Amino acid sequence: MSILEDARALAESGPVCDACLGRAFAERSFGLTNAERGKSLRVAAALDADEPYEAVETEDCWVCEGACAEFDAWAERCAEAIEDVEVETYQVGTRAPPLVEENELLLREGAGLPEDAGELFKSEFNREVGKRVGRLTGTEVDFTRPDVQFLLDIEADAVEAQLNSAFVYGRYRKLARDIPQTEWPCRECDGSGYKGKEPCDYCGGSGYLYEDSVEGFVAPVVMDVMDGVDAKFHGAGREDVDALMLGTGRPFVVEIMEPRRRSIDVEQLEGDINAMAEGEIEVEGLRLATYDMVERVKKLDASKEYRAAVEFDDDVTDEDLQAALDELTGATIEQYTPHRVDHRRASITRTRHVYDATGDLEDARHATVEVHGEGGLYIKELVSGDEGRTNPSLAGILDTGAVVTALDVIAVEGEDEPFEDDEFFKD
């Protein structure tokens, strides 16, 4: 059959609007809407048969039941749903009524066309409403990770506008000890602050083991500025609670859920966070980031540099210390899960590398040691040996007990490439 014969067969099923008629031939020609395509076929068929041209009102269509006349109205409802929200990109999805989907199949079946001929009703609805949304809001369509996703539920006559998360990248320095990276709920009361009806003695009724955290200083400020409903802190690893994070700082991303503002002054935000923290922590290099930066921060292989204050059980000479550090430089370290973390880590042996180890003896019992190692290397255990769980270790080589009395992280950098890649930023 010719395309005009197919068009006649479709039209004979009952009143079929131009959009539904043209949609069955959506793969034919370009630069036309389905409505334009359908009207052209209807005109051509009338001319070919030398019959009167009879238009069909969209509202009378038995296939879409008039829905194809409502593209403008649905687009206006989408625009109203984000009237007070800052977005730059969008995507439209449609939940088609089951009856319309069934009608489409019956239309093609009755005309002897394949059931997948042309395109689906919901595909056209997405596109036609989407074009209008873009014009009304001055935004651009994004089929990957848009700022807002609209779901048009035609049967329920509802527009759902889902605001996707926004992301702010930066680095933090932790300038005081005994501050965890993220909030640490009390294990005795599960963060409630109560044991039964009484305040929890273990946490003093706060629900947290530590009053402050890096997350607590940073995330609420970002959430407030971006007018979100919740926030999540993602760090590139984490330092021990009693360790400082100095030097270039540790990369992190704050994820803001359902933000109503996205165009923010990151320099002002940086100043607000640092003022709020009052010297406990500092952030720098804040930038608006993409969704993919979360995975990059959490999964990019990173090396760490540490500075540790070490105390020995016996007297150690500078010559012996330097020889031990030379032996550790370039060494492959086998570390069975340390005692201090075996309650939250799988009991396995991990292999990590020491890239460099240097240090200075302060007196016979005290030294400052600096270690550059592969990510995941436990520095406290590298020094102490952890009762033989870490081998080799500084204590083992020196044949004396050794313990880290203070630990500072001074650098967290990507092994093969920097964390800061313009591909993952939005500004």
CA 111, 116, 118, 124 dihedral sign is positive
Asked if omega into 392 is within 30° of 0 (cis), the reply is: yes
Q: Which residue has the tokens 């690893």?
A: 237
DSSP state of 220: H
306 is known to lie in a ligand binding site:
yes
Q: Which residues pair with 403 in a beta bridge?
A: 311
Which of 100, 145, 148 has the alpha carbon at shortest distance from 125?
A: 100
Q: Which helix (H) or strand (E) holds 383?
A: helix 379-384
- CA dist 341 and 179 (Å) reads 17
Nearest CA to 282 among 242, 322, 231, 247? Answer: 247
From the candidates 6, 240, 386, 408, which is the catalytic residue? Answer: 240
**336 labeled part of a ligand binding site:** no
Beta bridge partners of 373: 304, 354
State the residue for tokens 């706060």.
206
CA distance 115 to 106: 8
To the query of whether residue 240 is one of the catalytic residues in this protein, the response is: yes
328: closest CA among 397, 399, 407, 413?
Answer: 397
> Whole-angstrom distance between the N-terminal and C-terminal Cα of the chain?
55
Residue 179 DSSP one-character state = -
Helix residue ranges per DSSP H, 84-198? 98-110, 121-137
Distance CA 427, CA 418 (A): 18
Which residues sit in the known binding site? Answer: 306, 378
Annotated binding site for substrate: 306, 378
The residues annotated as belonging to the active site are 240
